Structure 1
Amino acid sequence: MTTTLPRVIGPWMAAAVVVGTVIGSGVFKKAQKVAEFCPESGVALSVWVFCGLLALLGGLTIAEVASRLPKAGGNYAFLRDAYGHWAGFLWGWVDFGIIRTSSIAVLAVMFIESLNNVLLLARLQYPADMEWIGTGLGRWEQVLATLSVIAALTFVNIRGTLIGGGLQMVLTALKVLSLLAILSLPVLILAFSPTSEPQPSASNFAPVWPSDWSQVNWAKFASAYGSAIVAVMWAYHGWLNITPIAEEVKQPQRNIPLALIGGIALLIFLYVGANVAYYTTISRNEMLDLKGTPVSTEFCRRLLGSVGVLVGSLILMTSVLGSLNGNILVAPRLLYAMGDDGLAPAKLRQLHPRFQTPSAAMMVFSGWAMLLVVAVAVAKETSWIDEKKNVFDVLTDYCIVGVAMFETMGVAAIFVLRTRQRELTPLLPYRCPGYPIVPAVYVLILVAVVANMFIGTEQRTEAKVGVGYALVGGLVYALFLRRKEA
């Protein structure tokens, strides 16, 4: 049975993976969380710019690392080749156990919640025709629907990389168009409907900056800004997602840098533009009062009326589905690579005899994500999860702890690889511009972000749990797998 992944992904599909897996729920929901930490709109918007530029620094660096190591597994391969099998295993342990599977679980739950909202809104609009919907899906009906959508997308991606990638391109195009519509809507309202209420207004941005910078408590400001960065990092999380399927990208030394850098630049434009649009219509205090309503949905409601709620829910639903499909497409390549190295069961490295996809790895990854969905549902049912803290924010904070630690190590791998592969550097068609300053700045900032998670109070528990889980992985490696280092 063959275990070699075919190179079938071209530049446009690679870019769709970068953009489509990143744009999920964060740009539609995290504005409230940022507003909680940053009372001034200018400071809040600067977080989105800052995190975008940070991702760009990482992308400029990882593009060279991936050009050197265009292998399945992405960050796993970078850590393994730069530091040893132990580092690759720890990333696999955390990515499989917390990061990627939690992402899949959160996105699937949000998709079904959005679908349920769409159905309920449709019933309000057409009560006679949609009476069969009743009061919508109950908690356990939503759980069953969530499990079903994960299973369905897993089946689609098992059927072929081109099929899953083609679906990703379609969904990515829809979500990019949706964000373009959001950032254009205030301008269109002002231009073509100047008498409608409410009107977009610059007054909603107030206050833009602190009234007196000399009176700012800089320790508290830095801590709050760091917590806001963690929130926005979830929205940008996934820019590295082209690297797990690098082995399947045509001309990887050309197409991976193009997809990474171009994709991240587009994300910065869309994210900052969308958040500026939100503030034209919703003030910071109003954002805080939204509670569970996504800011994007409230934005559409205010400018488009009752139909805007339906439009906002459809936009969120489509976007989340695209990110969910992208994660299910790329995530199993980690287990495939680990199986190839003997750090996971060898069965996981086998490809489907007909579709040439890592079907066993896909089923294991999706299966674990489905277990997380059920576990969260049980925890909510038994009140084990603190209802005062949004489960969405808890799970995404858990994800970012691992991302900040191990993806930073992946970026730092460029220093090791440049030292070891001096003769290869001049031959690469792409080399990180501004080396070594660009990767050094990225690493230093992420170290500060991780430190703030332990020093501050907002994400301290999640940080401790994330590190504790990684330490358990280190113990597992030391006891059972250390021989692989030899």
Structure 2
Amino acid sequence: MNDHALRAASAEAARRQASRPVFSNEPSAVLGLREAVMLIVGVVIGAGIFKAPSMVAGMTGSAPWMFGAWILGGVISLIGALCYAELTTAYPSAGGDYHFLKRAYGRSVSFLFGWARFSVITTGSIALLAFVFGDYLQQALPLYLGGRAIGPVVYAVTAILVLWWINSRGIKAGTSAQTWLTAAEVGGLLLIVAAALWLAGATSHQPAAPAAGAAAAPSLSSFGLAMVFVLLTYGGWNEAGYISAELKDKRRNMVRALVLSILVITALYLLVTWAYWRGLGLEGMAKSQALAADLMRVAFGTVGEKIIAVLVAVAAVTSINATMIVGARTNYAVGRDWPALGKLAFWDSERGTPANAMHVQNIAALLLVALGAWTGSGFRSMVEFTAPVFWLFFLLSGLALFVLRRREPATERPFKVPLYPLLPLLFVATCAYMLWSSLSYVYSQSLGGLNAAWIGVAVLAVGLLLLLALDRGAGRTAASPRP
């Protein structure tokens, strides 16, 4: 072959190589501030805001204390967000909490977190939210087969499959869908506020008068329990850590995204709570089993019930999409640390997604949907009873801020928590209280004749067995002679 032919062949090979998708194991900065805010707001605002205000109203007993609880929840969330802003700007990683736990306590603790997140926290949340979506969409668009309601399962599976397809197309497709879904979700919440404003202008409607002595302060235990539900409704902002490696100008935008998201969420929660209170009264709120539906029924009749069913379905699918995006990144980080799980570490740089990790996560979520369809409410209880596991690792993430400041003082920290160590201590104390509260609740419950506390223990026990197996496998690989 002459030189000309060799050059032509080399040029053709180079052209073909350049036309192929480029894959790497490193995420790149492709997300802007708007995408980050929409993702955080979308993952936080779920079905809780349609239920929790009723319980908070009953436990606080007066409007000032009720609104005070929601404001306090926003303040505590903001303090926690500031702690995470330091961690995420100092240690940006697609692993989020997993990465912080690994640096602070070693990869065994971080693996247990990764396992709990994969087995229950993330995949369980996707499955539960899918059922919420299915249950409420069934109210708006009933689907039956042979007299049996099949809508909840069909809609749940469809939601996961459609969002899976969207996110498989790439991070841009996933975050674009998230932006539109979050906008629709916020619009739905503002519609609830608009209904209350319309009722306020209707002279024929007057909310129930407060009961005598309603302004008395609630007991410490009642207010504490109210805060449990408030903080659960605010939960999810920490998921911002999982996109820290993909955020443009992360040093400034991560802090902005977290603070702005918490402020937006707090404002929306206060507005919606005011709408419930103005439309139903405090006593009506406390007695309501479906706050938003009751308010919309008063404002718009039976049409209002259909509207709220769609709004809750939109809120659920918005949280599913956000959880799907951030959850897969934990599995990706685990795959990078454990050679036996190395296939999870495949990063499709053309699409900006941890492709294999996402597929495994969504397959597991579909299996949990199948389990939920088979066991019914028992599956939902099983996932809810693992709350202490979540709060345990959340507490450890908060403590990691102190550990890493002491162990790695030379690490550059573009953002530092103000009033250190006071604010981080408040955040850690809150996490410890939530851990204790969730443990107290779980110990008082049972599932299948067993104390519900064993469910969380079982999750961690299985994780320990997997950890031992992976350690042994790594030891055998290291000890085997190379050819």
Question: Distance in 1 between the 2:383 and 2:61 partners?
Answer: 22
1:277 Cα offset (Å)? 1.6
Q: Which protein is bigger by CA-based radius of gyration?
A: 2
Question: Distance in 1 between the 2:323 and 2:170 partners?
Answer: 15
The one-letter amino acid of 1:466's match is G
* RMSD after superposition: 2.9
Going from structure 1 to structure 2, the CA distance change for 1:354 and 1:278 (only over 3 Å counts) comes to same
1:18 Cα offset (Å)? 0.8
Counterpart of 2:420 (choices 408, 420, 435) is: 435
Aligned to 1:170: 180
- Larger displacement relative to structure 2 (50-59 or 224-233): 224-233
Aligned to 1:271: 269
Going from structure 1 to structure 2, the CA distance change for 1:42 and 1:399 (only over 3 Å counts) comes to farther
Q: How does 1:108-147 map to 2 (within 5 A)?
A: 108-120=130-142, 138-147=148-157
1:343 Cα offset (Å)? 6.7
Normalised by the length of structure 1, the TM-score is 0.84
Going from structure 1 to structure 2, the CA distance change for 1:400 and 1:454 (only over 3 Å counts) comes to closer
Question: Distance in 2 between the 1:374 and 1:284 partners?
Answer: 39
Going from structure 1 to structure 2, the CA distance change for 1:379 and 1:39 (only over 3 Å counts) comes to farther
Q: Is the 8 A contact 1:108 1:324 kept in 2?
A: yes
1:33 Cα offset (Å)? 3.6
Question: Distance in 2 between the 1:302 and 1:9 partners?
Answer: 42
1:144 Cα offset (Å)? 2.9
The one-letter amino acid of 2:361's match is F
Structure 1 residues 27-82: Cα deviation after superposition (integer angstroms, max 9, x where no partner): 11222343454444544443333322221111010100000111011100110111
Going from structure 1 to structure 2, the CA distance change for 1:328 and 1:454 (only over 3 Å counts) comes to closer
Going from structure 1 to structure 2, the CA distance change for 1:314 and 1:345 (only over 3 Å counts) comes to same
Aligned to 2:189: 179
1:266 Cα offset (Å)? 1.2
Counterpart of 2:124 (choices 98, 102, 105) is: 102
Going from structure 1 to structure 2, the CA distance change for 1:484 and 1:12 (only over 3 Å counts) comes to farther
Q: Is the 8 A contact 2:136 2:313 kept in 1?
A: yes
Aligned to 1:84: 106
Q: Is the 8 A contact 1:94 1:470 kept in 2?
A: yes
Q: Is the 8 A contact 2:70 2:269 kept in 1?
A: yes
Q: How does 1:51-62 map to 2 (within 5 A)?
A: 51-62=73-84
Question: Distance in 2 between the 1:116 and 1:379 partners?
Answer: 19
1:301 pairs with 2:297: yes
Q: Is the 8 A contact 2:160 2:362 kept in 1?
A: yes
Q: Is the 8 A contact 2:113 2:393 kept in 1?
A: yes
Normalised by the length of structure 2, the TM-score is 0.84
Q: Is the 8 A contact 1:300 1:309 kept in 2?
A: yes
1:308 Cα offset (Å)? 1.4
Q: Is the 8 A contact 1:41 1:209 kept in 2?
A: yes
Counterpart of 1:203 (choices 186, 200, 209) is: 209
Aligned to 1:161: 171
Gaps of 5+ in 2: 1-22, 479-483
Counterpart of 2:410 (choices 423, 431, 435) is: 423
Going from structure 1 to structure 2, the CA distance change for 1:6 and 1:32 (only over 3 Å counts) comes to same
Q: Is the 8 A contact 2:120 2:383 kept in 1?
A: no
SS at match of 1:241: helix
Q: Is the 8 A contact 2:340 2:470 kept in 1?
A: no
1:93 pairs with 2:115: yes
State the aligned residue count. 449
Question: Distance in 2 between the 1:19 and 1:413 partners?
Answer: 25
1:334 pairs with 2:351: no
% identical aligned pairs: 30
1:475 Cα offset (Å)? 4.3
Structure 1 residues 360-400: Cα deviation after superposition (integer angstroms, max 9, x where no partner): 111111111112222122112xxx83xxxxx76x3663353
Gaps of 5+ in 1: 121-132, 386-390
Question: Distance in 1 between the 2:34 and 2:386 partners?
Answer: 28
1:354 Cα offset (Å)? 4.7
